[in-house]
């Protein structure tokens, strides 16, 4: 993100405050006299009526100034040079005697961005507002030293407006006081937080009838009966649960009647209409064939300490596909559909993404498998699927190796109109970005995207491709945390740790990413054992917020401050299906055109790890739309319509049949 180039000696102007500042310049004047386009110097002259200027690098590869990372410039010491790597710096006012000081800064870099801040520091991009919003959820995993694998893998969340008041509510999936007794009801229960008009959340779990006491893993949401409210599915290590929304603030457990309890250790789940009848079907990823009664801890480490066994010690559990037959009943067609591959070197699914990877108009499922090749269940029609992962290029990484994949999401990161897919992986594997080439083919673009160094050491779970700063391209959030508690002691000298910091990876607009966590808020300097992550705009301001589930620790609600800080314009879309398109419009595709640029998105809720996201579609417009805004929607049933004259800065509903139809 480089400001327009200005020639040396250009007329002096007072630029707008930098992104995130929320401040107006005071008394002084900031002038950018030249912004280079590689490899010329970026010259910035700053004049303030203050005692001194503090220059602090926000990011840089080899430091700034005298190598200490900071430099206080006193009168008579007007110039600081950095040989390379600086693309951004911050100017902040300090207390002084009011003396006038003129400072010339010369930066040598391949590219540069100048953000002026006046009179104070920039606000954080993300802020922990958990206590402010009255959320007190403490995750429990039931670990008592037996090293039962389920206790290390759980922790899901879901955003959805269960009561239809226009405000997102939050469902949090709880573990169990004793993981060995996971088949029985536990003392802890899942929690449904209802958001009030004041933005505070209240626990209504018991009142709503969704205080599930199974050994919880994840959640999925979708309107299974097209009655206008979203229903809730909970995956467990044990019996899964389906709660039908009664439209009066309560739910009814219809799991047994619906036939979706599932006999396996389930992980993530997704609602999608696989047969085009207008009813949402249900896909469930199942992890391992695992029995706590015959479990033995593994000690295959250098210190012979009990630890969690690697998943290669177990057979993988087959995925499940349930077809919605209406009336609250589903049929298990997993075997006839062909999605039941299993065995020691197969299956082991953790994350799932419903997506139309080949652009043929029906929904497919990309499954992130742990330590075995991923699945890409291609929809053949008539209730049949085949695994096309190897053919499409998403089964393995560029070294032809399977990875320990957990979280998953999809979006167009390079703006070429094709879906790309991102998966989070185990430590010392790198996360993986599969770049779409069109016609259903992908390649491992991790190296090209600049993601290797940032993602190699940490272990990833929940994730999201989203435009966090609304500048018009998709960035990446990753929740971090290891599996092995003693990893630092067992593998000393590698820089590995059990508790880890989450990461925010910013897109440069061309599909290359940089880790901007350090300048994005205090949250990113803290360490937790992250698992599930759900993303939604709980305050309806246009930027996506996040709830992070931390294993056996407090969860965290992160508010995105992008819009609050005065940055960027946006358009939000709420799609409403009809006819043979399900009401949630899951499986629809949106092409938004603004300022001569077109971006694409798919409508879904399921993604990340054990999570359900806000299914509304948000597009960042950068500084403004630069002209009219229109959306072309290919609905899940195949109808294509165009909606014109969309208004930036708000959510607007697009209903099937209300746009200009196209053939």
List, for residues 402-430, the tens digit of each pLDDT value: 999 999 999 999 999 999 999 999 999 99
- Asked if the model's pLDDT at residue 146 lies above 50, the reply is yes
pLDDT for position 176: 82
Q: Is there a domain that residue 94 lies in?
A: no
Q: Do residue 285 and residue 339 come from a single domain?
A: yes
Instruction: Please give the DSSP secondary-structure letter assigned to residue 100.
Output: -
Bond preceding residue 39 cis, omega within 30 of 0: yes
The pLDDT of residue 120: 35
DSSP 483: S
Residue that is last in its domain, among 569, 601, 629: 569
If one compares 49 and 333, the residue with the highest pLDDT of the two is 333
Q: How confident is the model at residue 567 (pLDDT cuts 50, 70, 90)?
A: low
The arithmetic mean of pLDDT across residues 62-67, rounded, is 29
Q: Distance between the two ends of the chain, CA-based, in angstroms? A: 38
**Residues 234, 332 share a domain:** yes
Question: Both 511 and 622 in a single domain?
Answer: no
What are the strands of the beta sheet with 216-222, ordered from one edge? 216-222, 231-236, 241-245, 251-253
- Tokens for 505, please give them: 């990876």
412, part of any domain? yes
Residue in this structure with the two tokens 């009011």, named with its chain if needed: 98
The pLDDT score that the predictor gives to residue 537 is: 98
- Residues 588 and 608 occupy one common structural domain: yes
**Do 466 and 589 share a domain, yes or no?**
no
Nearest to 303, CA basis, from 499, 458, 488: 488
Residue 290 has pLDDT above 70, yes or no: yes
Q: What residues contact residue 62 under an 8 Å CB cut-off, 6+ apart?
A: 82, 83, 84, 85
Evaluate whether 520 touches 505 at the Cβ level (below 8 Å).
Answer: no
Burial (CB < 10 A; 0-12, 13-18, 19+), residue 409, is buried
Among residues 271, 215, 267, the alpha carbon closest in space to that of 584 is found at: 271
Query: Does residue 163 form part of some domain?
Result: yes
Question: Domain check: are 405 and 492 in the same one?
Answer: yes
Domain count, the chain: 2
Cα–Cα distance for residue pair 166/652, rounded to 1 Å: 12
Secondary structure E strands in 209-279: 216-222, 231-236, 241-245, 251-253, 266-272
Which DSSP helix (H) or strand (E) runs through 353? Answer: strand 349-355
Residues 401 and 392: their CA atoms lie apart, in Å, by 15
Place of tokens 């010259």: 43
The count of other CB atoms within 10 Å of the CB of residue 302 is 9
* Token representation of residue 236: 């467990």
**High-pLDDT (> 90) share of the chain, %:** 71
Domain shared by 524 and 578, yes or no: no
Q: Bin 351: left if φ > 0, else alpha if -120 < ψ < 50, else beta.
A: beta
User: For residues 373 and 402, is the Cβ–Cβ distance under 8 A?
Assistant: yes
Based on the fold, state whether residues 228 and 324 are members of the same structural domain. Answer: yes
Lowest mean pLDDT among 16-30, 146-160, 565-579: 16-30
Residues 642-646: contacts with CB under 8 Å, at least 24 apart? 646/571, 646/573, 646/592
Range of the domain at 419: 126-569
The values of phi and psi at residue 104, to 5°, are -110, 125
Structure tokens at 111: 């590219």
**In this structure, how many other beta carbons lie within 10 angstroms of the beta carbon of residue 99?**
11
With respect to residue 608, please indicate whether it lies within any of the assigned structural domains: yes
Residue found by looking up tokens 């790597």 in the block: 85
Q: What gap in Å lies between CA 74 and CA 629, rounded to an integer?
A: 49
Pair type for strands 611-612 and 157-160: parallel
439/578 same-domain check? no
Query: Whose structure tokens read 């070429």?
Result: 416
Cβ atoms of residues 143 and 552 within 8 Å: yes
- The DSSP bridge partners found for residue 244 are 252
Contacts for 104 with CB less than 8 Å, ≥ 6 apart = 43, 44, 45, 46, 78, 79
pLDDT single digits (tens) 254-279? 999 999 999 999 999 999 999 999 99
- CATH for 238: 2.130.10.10
Is 163 a residue whose pLDDT tops 50? yes
* 537: CB partners within 8 A, 6+ apart: 168, 543, 544, 545, 572, 614, 616, 618
Domain boundary (544, 569, 594) is at: 569
Q: Which of 66-80, 361-375, 387-401, 645-659 has the lowest mean pLDDT?
A: 66-80
CB neighbour list of residue 580: distance below 8 Å, 6 or more residues apart: 276, 277, 278, 637
Question: Quick one: pLDDT at residue 97?
Answer: 37
Q: Domain end: 504, 536, 569, which one? A: 569
Beta strands 364-369 and 349-355: pairing type?
Answer: antiparallel
* Residues 588 and 469 both lie in one domain: no
Phi and psi at residue 65, in whole multiples of 5°?
65, -120
Residue 512 domain-assigned? yes
For residue 80, tell me if it sits in a domain.
no
Residue 66 forms part of a structural domain: no
Residue at token pair 């005697």 = 97
Nearest CA to 125 out of 559, 625, 635, 646 is that of 559
Q: φ and ψ at 430, to 5 degrees? A: 70, 150
pLDDT band for position 19 (50/70/90)? very low
Q: From the centroid of its chain, how far is CA 183? A: 31
Which three-class secondary structure state does DSSP give residue 182? coil
Largest CA distance in the chain: 81
Say if CB 324 and CB 271 are below 8 A apart.
Answer: no
Q: Which DSSP symbol is given to 21? A: T
CB 351 within 8 A of CB 407: yes
Nearest to 140 by CA among 214, 66, 208: 214
Structure tokens at 216: 């919880």
Say what the pLDDT of residue 186 is: 67
Question: Percent of the chain beyond pLDDT 70?
Answer: 78
pLDDT attached to residue 27: 32
Sign of the dihedral through C-alpha 581, 584, 586, 588: positive
Q: Report whether pLDDT(313) > 80.
A: yes
Whether 69 and 86 have beta carbons less than 8 Å apart is answered as: no
Q: Give the three-state DSSP class for 391.
A: helix
The rounded radius of gyration (Å) of the Cα atoms in the chain is 25
Q: Strand pairing partners for 31?
A: 45
Same domain membership, residue 190 and residue 164: yes
Tell me what the pLDDT averaged over the chain comes to. 83
423 inside domain: yes
Question: Please, which pLDDT band fits residue 564 given cuts at 50, 70 and 90?
Answer: confident
3-state secondary structure of 191: strand
Could you report the per-residue pLDDT of 96-118, keeping only the tens digit for each?
333 333 333 444 333 333 333 33
Q: Do 300 and 178 reside in the same domain of the chain?
A: yes
Q: Judge contact between 314 and 303, C-beta under 8 A.
A: no
φ/ψ of residue 80, rounded to 5: -130, 140
């Amino acid at each position: 993100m480089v400001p327009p180039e200005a020639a040396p000696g250009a007329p002096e102007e007072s630029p707008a405050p930098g992104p995130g500042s929320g401040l107006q310049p005071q008394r002084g004047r900031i002038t950018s006299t030249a912004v280079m386009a590689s490899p010329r110097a970026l010259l910035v002259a700053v004049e303030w009526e203050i005692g001194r200027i503090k220059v602090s690098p926000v990011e840089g590869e080899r430091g700034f100034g005298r190598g200490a990372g900071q430099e206080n410039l006193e009168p008579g010491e007007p110039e600081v040079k950095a040989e390379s790597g600086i693309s951004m710096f911050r100017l902040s006012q300090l207390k002084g005697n009011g003396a006038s000081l003129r400072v010339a800064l010369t930066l040598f870099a391949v590219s540069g961005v100048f953000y002026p801040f006046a009179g104070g520091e920039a606000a954080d991009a993300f802020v922990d507002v958990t206590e402010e919003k009255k959320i007190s959820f403490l995750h429990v995993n039931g670990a008592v030293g037996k090293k039962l694998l389920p206790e290390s893998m759980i922790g899901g969340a879901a955003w959805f407006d269960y009561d239809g008041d226009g405000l997102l509510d939050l469902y949090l999936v709880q573990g169990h006081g004793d993981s060995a007794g996971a088949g029985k009801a536990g003392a802890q229960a899942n929690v449904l937080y209802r958001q009030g008009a004041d933005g505070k959340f209240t626990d209504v779990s018991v009142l709503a009838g969704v205080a599930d006491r199974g050994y919880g893993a994840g959640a999925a949401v979708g309107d299974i009966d097209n009655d206008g409210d979203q229903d809730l599915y909970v995956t467990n290590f044990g019996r899964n649960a389906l709660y039908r929304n009664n439209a009066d603030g309560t739910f009814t457990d219809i799991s047994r009647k619906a036939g979706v309890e599932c006999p396996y250790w389930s992980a993530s789940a997704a609602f999608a209409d696989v047969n085009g009848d207008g009813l949402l079907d249900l896909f469930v990823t199942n992890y391992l064939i695992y029995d706590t009664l015959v479990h033995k801890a593994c000690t295959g480490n250098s210190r012979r300490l009990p630890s969690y066994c690697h998943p290669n010690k177990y057979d993988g559990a087959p995925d499940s596909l349930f077809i919605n037959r209406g009336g609250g009943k589903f049929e298990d067609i997993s075997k006839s559909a062909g999605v039941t591959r299993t065995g020691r070197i197969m299956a082991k699914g953790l994350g799932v993404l419903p997506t139309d990877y080949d652009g043929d108009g029906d929904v497919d499922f990309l499954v992130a498998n742990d330590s075995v090749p991923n699945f890409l269940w291609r929809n053949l029609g008539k209730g049949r699927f085949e695994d096309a992962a190897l053919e499409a290029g998403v089964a393995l990484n560029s070294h032809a190796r399977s990875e320990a994949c957990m979280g998953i999401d999809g979006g167009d990161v390079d703006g070429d109109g094709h879906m790309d897919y991102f998966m989070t992986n185990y430590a010392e594997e790198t996360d993986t970005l599969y770049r779409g080439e069109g016609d259903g083919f992908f390649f491992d673009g991790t190296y090209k995207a600049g993601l290797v160094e940032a993602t190699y050491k940490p272990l990833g779970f929940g994730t999201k491709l989203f435009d966090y700063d609304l500048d018009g391209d998709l960035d990446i959030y990753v929740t971090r945390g290891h599996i092995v508690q003693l990893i630092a002691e067992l593998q000393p000298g590698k820089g590995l740790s059990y508790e880890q910091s989450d990461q925010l990876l910013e897109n440069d607009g061309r599909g290359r990413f940089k880790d901007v966590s350090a300048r994005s808020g205090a949250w990113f300097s803290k360490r937790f054992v992250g698992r599930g992550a759900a993303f939604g705009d709980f305050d309806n301001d246009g930027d996506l917020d996040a709830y992070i589930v931390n294993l056996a620790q407090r969860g965290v609600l992160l508010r995105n401050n992008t819009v609050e800080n005065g940055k960027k314009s946006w358009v939000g879309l709420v799609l409403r299906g009809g006819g043979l398109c399900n009401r949630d419009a899951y499986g629809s595709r949106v092409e938004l055109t603004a300022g001569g640029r077109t971006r694409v998105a798919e409508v879904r809720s399921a993604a990340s790890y054990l999570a359900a996201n806000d299914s509304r579609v948000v597009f960042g417009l950068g500084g403004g739309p630069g002209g009219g805004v229109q959306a072309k929607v290919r609905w899940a049933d195949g109808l294509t319509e165009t909606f014109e004259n969309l208004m930036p800065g708000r959510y607007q509903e697009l209903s099937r049949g209300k746009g200009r139809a196209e053939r």
